[in-house]
Amino acid sequence: MNTILNNKVKHLQLGHIEYKKALEIQEEIFQKTIKTKIENRKNETNILTENYVISCSHPHVYTIGKSGDEKNLLLDKEMIKKKKLDYFKISRGGDITYHGPGQIVVYPIIDLENFFTDIHLYLRKLEEAVINTLEAFKIKSGRIKDHTGVWVNHKSEKAKKICAMGVKSSRWVTMHGLALNVKTDLNYFNNIIPCGINDKTVTSIENELNINLSLKKVEKEIIKNLFKVFKFDSYIN
Protein backbone atom coordinates (compact mmCIF):
# COMPACT_ATOMS: atom_id res chain seq x y z
CA MET A 1 0.00 0.00 0.00
CA ASN A 2 1.29 3.47 -0.92
CA THR A 3 1.98 5.48 2.23
CA ILE A 4 2.06 8.75 0.27
CA LEU A 5 -0.64 9.13 -2.37
CA ASN A 6 -0.23 10.91 -5.69
CA ASN A 7 -3.51 11.92 -7.35
CA LYS A 8 -1.83 13.97 -10.06
CA VAL A 9 -2.28 12.59 -13.59
CA LYS A 10 -0.44 13.62 -16.73
CA HIS A 11 -2.29 13.56 -20.06
CA LEU A 12 -0.13 12.43 -22.99
CA GLN A 13 -1.51 13.07 -26.49
CA LEU A 14 0.25 10.80 -28.98
CA GLY A 15 -1.80 11.72 -32.04
CA HIS A 16 -2.09 9.13 -34.83
CA ILE A 17 0.48 6.49 -33.94
CA GLU A 18 1.32 2.90 -34.89
CA TYR A 19 -0.15 0.45 -32.40
CA LYS A 20 3.22 -1.20 -31.71
CA LYS A 21 4.85 2.12 -30.83
CA ALA A 22 2.00 3.11 -28.49
CA LEU A 23 2.20 -0.32 -26.83
CA GLU A 24 5.94 0.16 -26.24
CA ILE A 25 5.27 3.54 -24.59
CA GLN A 26 2.60 1.98 -22.39
CA GLU A 27 4.87 -0.89 -21.39
CA GLU A 28 7.75 1.44 -20.53
CA ILE A 29 5.60 3.55 -18.18
CA PHE A 30 3.85 0.47 -16.75
CA GLN A 31 7.10 -1.35 -15.94
CA LYS A 32 8.70 1.80 -14.50
CA THR A 33 5.73 2.26 -12.15
CA ILE A 34 5.82 -1.36 -11.00
CA LYS A 35 9.59 -1.12 -10.45
CA THR A 36 9.07 1.94 -8.24
CA LYS A 37 6.48 0.07 -6.16
CA ILE A 38 8.73 -2.97 -5.72
CA GLU A 39 11.68 -0.79 -4.68
CA ASN A 40 9.49 1.17 -2.25
CA ARG A 41 8.47 -2.04 -0.53
CA LYS A 42 11.97 -3.53 -0.58
CA ASN A 43 13.77 -0.40 0.66
CA GLU A 44 10.92 1.00 2.80
CA THR A 45 10.96 4.22 0.77
CA ASN A 46 8.10 6.48 -0.30
CA ILE A 47 8.90 7.45 -3.87
CA LEU A 48 5.70 8.67 -5.56
CA THR A 49 4.31 6.58 -8.40
CA GLU A 50 3.31 8.55 -11.48
CA ASN A 51 -0.07 8.34 -13.24
CA TYR A 52 -0.73 8.87 -16.93
CA VAL A 53 -3.68 9.01 -19.32
CA ILE A 54 -2.62 8.46 -22.93
CA SER A 55 -4.94 9.37 -25.80
CA CYS A 56 -4.32 8.60 -29.47
CA SER A 57 -5.61 6.89 -32.59
CA HIS A 58 -4.10 4.05 -34.63
CA PRO A 59 -3.80 2.87 -38.23
CA HIS A 60 -5.92 -0.22 -38.97
CA VAL A 61 -5.15 -2.97 -36.45
CA TYR A 62 -6.85 -5.90 -34.73
CA THR A 63 -5.90 -6.83 -31.17
CA ILE A 64 -6.92 -9.85 -29.15
CA GLY A 65 -6.71 -10.30 -25.39
CA LYS A 66 -4.87 -13.06 -23.56
CA SER A 67 -8.03 -15.15 -23.15
CA GLY A 68 -9.49 -14.29 -26.56
CA ASP A 69 -10.52 -16.88 -29.15
CA GLU A 70 -8.65 -16.51 -32.46
CA LYS A 71 -11.67 -18.01 -34.23
CA ASN A 72 -13.24 -14.58 -33.76
CA LEU A 73 -10.76 -13.24 -36.32
CA LEU A 74 -12.43 -14.02 -39.64
CA LEU A 75 -9.33 -13.39 -41.77
CA ASP A 76 -6.30 -15.61 -42.26
CA LYS A 77 -2.75 -14.28 -42.10
CA GLU A 78 -2.52 -13.89 -45.88
CA MET A 79 -5.66 -11.75 -45.99
CA ILE A 80 -4.42 -9.61 -43.10
CA LYS A 81 -1.21 -8.96 -45.03
CA LYS A 82 -3.04 -8.35 -48.31
CA LYS A 83 -5.38 -5.81 -46.69
CA LYS A 84 -2.35 -4.10 -45.05
CA LEU A 85 -3.67 -4.65 -41.54
CA ASP A 86 -1.81 -5.30 -38.30
CA TYR A 87 -2.70 -7.97 -35.74
CA PHE A 88 -1.43 -8.26 -32.16
CA LYS A 89 -1.97 -10.71 -29.32
CA ILE A 90 -1.72 -8.63 -26.16
CA SER A 91 -1.91 -8.91 -22.38
CA ARG A 92 -5.25 -7.23 -21.72
CA GLY A 93 -8.49 -8.94 -20.80
CA GLY A 94 -11.31 -9.33 -23.30
CA ASP A 95 -11.47 -10.80 -26.77
CA ILE A 96 -10.83 -9.29 -30.22
CA THR A 97 -11.40 -5.70 -31.28
CA TYR A 98 -10.48 -3.25 -34.02
CA HIS A 99 -8.64 0.07 -33.83
CA GLY A 100 -8.35 2.50 -36.70
CA PRO A 101 -8.66 6.06 -37.97
CA GLY A 102 -11.64 7.97 -36.60
CA GLN A 103 -11.49 6.20 -33.25
CA ILE A 104 -10.25 7.64 -29.96
CA VAL A 105 -8.19 5.22 -27.88
CA VAL A 106 -7.43 6.00 -24.24
CA TYR A 107 -4.84 4.16 -22.17
CA PRO A 108 -4.85 5.06 -18.45
CA ILE A 109 -1.63 3.90 -16.77
CA ILE A 110 -2.72 4.51 -13.22
CA ASP A 111 -1.48 3.27 -9.88
CA LEU A 112 -4.87 2.50 -8.37
CA GLU A 113 -3.35 2.50 -4.88
CA ASN A 114 -3.27 6.29 -5.29
CA PHE A 115 -7.07 6.26 -5.63
CA PHE A 116 -8.88 3.00 -4.81
CA THR A 117 -8.07 -0.70 -5.08
CA ASP A 118 -11.05 -2.15 -6.92
CA ILE A 119 -10.64 -3.19 -10.56
CA HIS A 120 -14.39 -3.58 -11.07
CA LEU A 121 -14.99 -0.05 -9.81
CA TYR A 122 -12.21 1.09 -12.15
CA LEU A 123 -14.02 -0.42 -15.15
CA ARG A 124 -17.36 1.05 -14.09
CA LYS A 125 -15.77 4.51 -13.80
CA LEU A 126 -14.27 4.17 -17.29
CA GLU A 127 -17.75 3.33 -18.56
CA GLU A 128 -19.25 6.27 -16.67
CA ALA A 129 -16.78 8.68 -18.26
CA VAL A 130 -17.73 7.43 -21.72
CA ILE A 131 -21.47 7.57 -20.95
CA ASN A 132 -21.07 11.17 -19.80
CA THR A 133 -19.09 11.99 -22.93
CA LEU A 134 -21.78 10.57 -25.20
CA GLU A 135 -24.45 12.45 -23.25
CA ALA A 136 -22.59 15.69 -24.07
CA PHE A 137 -23.23 14.85 -27.74
CA LYS A 138 -26.90 14.00 -27.09
CA ILE A 139 -26.44 10.23 -27.32
CA LYS A 140 -28.09 8.06 -24.69
CA SER A 141 -25.99 5.06 -23.74
CA GLY A 142 -25.39 2.64 -20.91
CA ARG A 143 -24.17 -0.75 -19.75
CA ILE A 144 -25.27 -4.30 -20.48
CA LYS A 145 -25.00 -6.98 -17.81
CA ASP A 146 -21.98 -9.28 -18.24
CA HIS A 147 -20.61 -7.24 -21.19
CA THR A 148 -17.99 -4.64 -20.28
CA GLY A 149 -18.12 -1.50 -22.42
CA VAL A 150 -20.66 1.13 -23.42
CA TRP A 151 -23.69 0.51 -25.59
CA VAL A 152 -26.29 2.52 -27.50
CA ASN A 153 -29.87 1.18 -27.22
CA HIS A 154 -28.56 -0.64 -24.15
CA LYS A 155 -32.04 -1.53 -22.90
CA SER A 156 -32.99 -3.11 -26.23
CA GLU A 157 -32.21 -6.42 -27.92
CA LYS A 158 -30.75 -4.25 -30.71
CA ALA A 159 -27.99 -2.85 -28.50
CA LYS A 160 -24.93 -1.58 -30.40
CA LYS A 161 -21.46 -1.29 -28.88
CA ILE A 162 -19.93 2.15 -29.28
CA CYS A 163 -16.99 1.75 -26.89
CA ALA A 164 -14.93 -1.36 -26.22
CA MET A 165 -12.78 -1.87 -23.13
CA GLY A 166 -10.01 -4.22 -22.10
CA VAL A 167 -7.48 -3.66 -19.33
CA LYS A 168 -4.56 -5.25 -17.53
CA SER A 169 -3.62 -4.72 -13.90
CA SER A 170 -0.54 -5.78 -11.97
CA ARG A 171 0.27 -4.60 -8.42
CA TRP A 172 -2.75 -2.29 -8.91
CA VAL A 173 -1.12 -0.57 -11.90
CA THR A 174 -3.33 -0.47 -15.00
CA MET A 175 -2.62 -0.40 -18.73
CA HIS A 176 -4.57 -0.79 -21.99
CA GLY A 177 -8.00 0.85 -21.79
CA LEU A 178 -10.88 1.89 -24.05
CA ALA A 179 -11.66 2.61 -27.69
CA LEU A 180 -14.51 4.98 -28.58
CA ASN A 181 -15.86 4.93 -32.13
CA VAL A 182 -16.28 8.51 -33.34
CA LYS A 183 -16.05 8.47 -37.14
CA THR A 184 -14.77 4.94 -37.52
CA ASP A 185 -15.20 2.94 -40.74
CA LEU A 186 -17.41 0.25 -39.22
CA ASN A 187 -16.84 -2.10 -42.16
CA TYR A 188 -13.58 -3.20 -40.54
CA PHE A 189 -15.60 -4.84 -37.77
CA ASN A 190 -17.00 -7.23 -40.38
CA ASN A 191 -13.66 -9.07 -40.33
CA ILE A 192 -14.09 -10.08 -36.69
CA ILE A 193 -16.68 -11.10 -34.12
CA PRO A 194 -16.22 -7.98 -31.98
CA CYS A 195 -15.35 -8.86 -28.38
CA GLY A 196 -16.46 -12.41 -29.18
CA ILE A 197 -20.14 -11.35 -29.04
CA ASN A 198 -21.89 -12.59 -32.17
CA ASP A 199 -25.43 -11.35 -31.53
CA LYS A 200 -24.67 -7.62 -31.24
CA THR A 201 -23.48 -4.94 -33.67
CA VAL A 202 -21.26 -1.87 -33.39
CA THR A 203 -21.84 1.81 -34.02
CA SER A 204 -20.10 5.18 -33.85
CA ILE A 205 -20.96 8.72 -32.76
CA GLU A 206 -21.22 9.90 -36.36
CA ASN A 207 -23.33 6.89 -37.29
CA GLU A 208 -25.78 7.77 -34.52
CA LEU A 209 -25.90 11.52 -35.18
CA ASN A 210 -25.35 11.58 -38.95
CA ILE A 211 -23.07 14.60 -38.65
CA ASN A 212 -19.36 15.27 -39.19
CA LEU A 213 -17.59 15.58 -35.85
CA SER A 214 -14.10 16.74 -34.94
CA LEU A 215 -12.08 13.93 -33.39
CA LYS A 216 -10.23 16.50 -31.28
CA LYS A 217 -13.52 17.79 -29.85
CA VAL A 218 -14.56 14.32 -28.70
CA GLU A 219 -11.06 13.57 -27.38
CA LYS A 220 -11.15 16.74 -25.28
CA GLU A 221 -14.57 15.80 -23.90
CA ILE A 222 -13.67 12.25 -22.91
CA ILE A 223 -10.43 13.35 -21.20
CA LYS A 224 -12.39 16.01 -19.29
CA ASN A 225 -14.91 13.41 -18.13
CA LEU A 226 -12.23 10.89 -17.13
CA PHE A 227 -10.53 13.46 -14.93
CA LYS A 228 -13.89 14.46 -13.43
CA VAL A 229 -15.19 10.93 -12.75
CA PHE A 230 -11.92 9.71 -11.24
CA LYS A 231 -11.23 13.04 -9.48
CA PHE A 232 -7.79 13.17 -11.04
CA ASP A 233 -5.67 16.24 -10.38
CA SER A 234 -4.25 17.36 -13.73
CA TYR A 235 -0.49 17.60 -14.05
CA ILE A 236 1.44 19.53 -16.66
CA ASN A 237 5.22 19.48 -17.06
Q: Give dist(CA 137, CA 219) in Å, integer.
A: 12
163 is an active site residue: no
Residue 10, beta-bridge partner list: 52, 235
Task: Return the closest-CA partner of residue 137 out of 92, 182, 179.
Answer: 182
The catalytic residue among 96, 164, 195, 218 is: 195
Measured in residues, the chain has a length of 237
Q: How far is Cα 2 from Cα 230, in angstroms, rounded to an integer?
A: 18
Q: Are 97 and 195 in contact (CB under 8 A)?
A: yes
* Closest C-alpha to 179, from 136, 230, 130, 109: 130
- Which spans in the chain are helix H? 19-43, 77-82, 119-136, 205-209, 215-230
Q: State the Cα–Cα distance between residues 13 and 39, nearest whole angstrom.
A: 29
- Which has the closest alpha carbon to 129: 60, 199, 55? 55
Distance CA 138, CA 177 (A): 24
- Alpha carbon distance 68, 7 (integer Å): 33
57 CB burial (10 A radius; 0-12, 13-18, 19+): buried
Give the active site residues: 195
